[in-house]
Amino acid sequence: MTLILDPTDETVPVSRQITPRDGQVSGVVGLMDIRKPRGNILLDELDRLLSERMPGIEIRRFAKPTFTKPCPDDLRAQMKAECDFVIEGLAD
Amino acid sequence: MAGTPSFELTDLDGNTRAYPASKPSLICFVKEDCETCNTAAPVINAFHTAYGDTANVWMVSQSADGSVILKDRHGLTLPILDDSDLKTSFAYDFNIVPAVFWCPDGKAAETQFEGFVKQEWRDLDQAIASTLGGSAGEIDWDALPDWRPGCGSKHLDPEINDRLRAEADDSPIRARKIEIASADDVAEFMFDQGFSDGLPLVAPTPERVLRMLAGTRRDAKEVIAQMPPNMGDATIEKIAINAVMAGCKPEYLPVVIAAIEAICTDEFNIHGVNATTMGASPVLVVNGPICERIGMNSGLMALGTGNRANATIGRAVRLAVRNIGGSHPGGTDRSTLGSPMKFTMCFAEREERSEWAPLHVERGFKAEDSVVTVFAMTSGPSLIVDQESREPDEIAGTLGLGLEAVFLSKYHMLPVDTLLVVCPEHLDTLMKDGPYSKDRLRDRIQDVTKKPLRDMVANETSGAGMTRAAAAKLSDEQLDRIVPKFASNDYIHIVVAGSDAGKFSGAFHGWATGEIGSQSVSRKIEEI
């Protein structure tokens, strides 16, 4: 028998429950721009289409300082507090 | 009186002998293959004959076979306790056998000594007799030598001692222990667990990790960084485990630690460096006296294979990012093509061959400091070949033209780092007529790469560069403005490395430089 030491951070990923989908969109929809080039063009278009088709919802825009770094904690907390839905413009 | 550690050991008859005890206790550690222990064994047995009714007189043997041999060889009648796992010897913390502990109250040693100095043993005989109120043992002291050196205790054998230290209650080892069944292949197991970069790993046994930790004075439990993307705690111990797997020697560990501190800063942004589809990787440049001390290569093949320190320090950093940070290819490591630098890229600057101030001095450290500097680089070393230039400005011009290739030759005004590695022969040509400063070289690089802005506009040859729409908004005068390769001289980093023969310099090409992406970071390396 050989004994070795665990080289990892020993965390087991937490499994998360997906929020139930009821087919309805209401409340505040956040549009998150991670700041990749042209991400704003995609989100502008989504903004326009959602506003046309779902006049009852409120759209709020968010943006990360730079796409290369993780989202700042404050911004993540703000989106969680303010939004019922978030659409993120992932790049590439 | 010194407190003596508790134990429960089994004698040859299968009885458990426990300490502390209700009776006065004489505990003698021996090993069978030690001449002096064989000299002392009949004396210890005589003590048992004299005092065994009122005191524990125990011989503690360091091997199971040895217990039986000693008993038969000397006709011993006293209890011989088995410490073949050496944990009790380790706990008693002596160096030499025989080692004697006389504990009149059964709890703490009043007298202790090692080896065989006849007078010490005679004094012990008297001390026991006076404590117990009986007569001394019947021992022919004149037949015994005055003095014999003992032997090193078996628990101090390096392999054994590392295991004992790893298992001790105050061991610095805190990481989860993984048992690999003897039927399993250790190397295959580590591949299966995803610990590897694709190459075989050295098994991080507790003994090896302890030896690795001896390379630093820092506390094994110290957390030096939270490593993305999992924000795992990068403790000194976890870094040491990954350094063992990479093949490092303990003396390399301070460099690995400093490099990990550097890449985990917000400025360097290891998360973005890993995640980018462009495929960036840390390039480590080491400066200062530690390079020679640990045998790093700055000369022939400095950027290649064959040197253990260069290869394994860079690899240890990558493995730590993989295992502690949890960044795996296809997970958050998402390079389109990848690069061999994602295995390892670490080298030393050839400071003594260069007239220039070395990189770390340029960056504000003292020459006698040892420093690691990390750069986020996406490709390299791409070679710059010039075997013909004989004039300083000619070779400087060549180095500039070589750097046109960063990203794409069409791109100019790049806010992107480059790390230029000038080879000694090119350096000699630069210095031929006297000092040729790094700043002059930077100016020359910028000068020879200047092009009109209109050359950057998308065209039928290549759609890359400035869009036609953006160009349409500029005047002819603006489009005729000539612009250099780099947005500023500050993006051009210069070091010297390589062998004396060969007119081949090299360049690493950067990633998104600055707050938007990654900035180079230097960290001083712990002095040992």
Pairs across A and B, CB distance < 8 A: 90
Q: Which of B204, B232, B512 sits opposite A4 (nearest CB)?
A: B204
Q: What is the DSSP letter of B519?
A: -
Helices and strands per DSSP (H, E), number in chain A? 2, 4
Q: Which of B324, B328, B511 to mutate to test the interface with A (most CBs of A within 10 A)?
A: B324
* List of chain B residues whose C-beta atoms are within 8 Å of the C-beta of residue A37: none
The answer to whether the CB atoms of A6 and B515 lie below 8 A apart is no
End-to-end CA gap in chain B: 36
Question: For residues B59 and B41, is the Cβ–Cβ distance under 8 A?
Answer: yes
**How far is residue B525 from each of residues A36, B255, B287, B378, B522, measured CA to CA in Å?**
36, 6, 10, 25, 9
Backbone CA torsion sign across B201, B207, B212, B213: positive
Taking only the tens of pLDDT, chain B with its 528 residues reads 457 999 999 999 999 999 999 999 999 999 999 999 999 999 999 999 999 999 999 999 999 999 999 999 999 999 999 999 999 999 999 999 999 999 999 999 999 999 999 999 999 999 999 999 877 778 999 999 999 999 999 999 988 888 888 888 788 899 999 999 888 999 999 999 999 999 999 999 999 999 999 999 999 999 999 998 888 999 999 999 999 999 999 999 999 999 999 999 999 999 999 999 999 999 999 999 999 999 999 999 999 999 999 999 999 999 999 999 999 999 999 999 999 999 999 999 999 999 999 999 999 999 999 999 999 999 989 999 999 999 999 999 999 999 999 999 999 999 999 999 999 999 999 999 999 999 999 999 999 999 999 999 999 999 999 999 999 999 999 999 999 999 999 999 999 999 999 999 999 999 999 998 999 999 999 988
Q: Which residues pair with B493 in a beta bridge?
A: B419
Check CB contact under 8 Å for A66 and B515. Answer: yes
Contact A66 B173 (CB under 8 A): no
- ipTM here: 0.78
The 10 Å Cβ neighbour count of residue B81 is: 24
Note the pLDDT of residue B89: 96
Domains of chain B and any CATH numbers: 2-154 (3.40.30.10), 186-449+484-524 (no CATH)
Q: Do B180 and A3 touch (CB under 8 A)?
A: yes
CA-to-CA distance for B256 and B490, rounded, in angstroms? 27
Scanning every residue of chain B, which has its alpha carbon at the shortest distance from the alpha carbon of A34? B516
Largest CA distance in chain A: 67
Say yes or no for a CB contact (<8 Å) between B177 and A5. yes
Q: What is the pLDDT of residue B1?
A: 47
**In B, which residues are within 8 Å of A1 by CB distance?**
179-182
CB contact under 8 A, B326 and A5: no
CA A4 to chain B, closest CA, distance in angstroms equals 4
- Tokens matching residue B439: 């700043």
Per residue in A54-74, pLDDT (tens digit) is 999 999 999 999 888 888 889
Residues B179, A2: C-beta atoms closer than 8 Å: yes
A45 alpha-carbon distance from chain centroid: 17
Between helix B35-51 and helix B118-132 the angle, nearest 10°, is 20
- CA nearest A3 in B: which residue? B179
Nearest chain A alpha carbon to B516:
A66
Chain centroid, CA B510 distance in Å: 27
Q: What is the predicted pLDDT for the residue at B182? A: 86
B487 vs B526: CA distance, rounded Å: 35
State how far the Cα of B260 lies from the Cα of B439, in Å rounded to an integer: 30
What is the sign, positive or negative, of the torsion defined by CA atoms of B369, B374, B380, B386?
A: negative
Distances (CA, A) of B396 to B197, B352, B424, B445, B504: 38, 21, 13, 7, 13
Q: Which among B41, B106, B50 is positioned nearest to B76, based on CA atoms?
A: B41
Q: Is the pLDDT of residue A16 over 70?
A: no
pLDDT value for A69 = 84
* Amino acid occupying residue A44: D
Contact A8 B245 (CB under 8 A): no
Nearest to B248 by CA among B153, B320, B336, B332: B320
CA distance B96 to chain A (A): 29
User: Which pTM value belongs to this model?
Assistant: 0.80
Neighbouring C-alpha atoms within 13 Å toward the C-beta of B184:
16
The C-alpha atoms of residue B467 and residue A59 are separated, in whole angstroms, by 31
Is residue A75 within 8 A of residue A66, CB to CB? The reply is: no
C-alpha A41/C-alpha B36 separation (Å) is 87
Residues of A with Cβ-Cβ distance to B227 under 8 angstroms: 9
Q: How far is CA A79 from CA A49, B131, B348, B382, B389, in A?
A: 21, 79, 46, 44, 60
- State the DSSP code for A87: E
Which of B177, B229, B241 lies nearest to residue A7, judging by beta carbons? B241
CA distance B232 to A69: 16
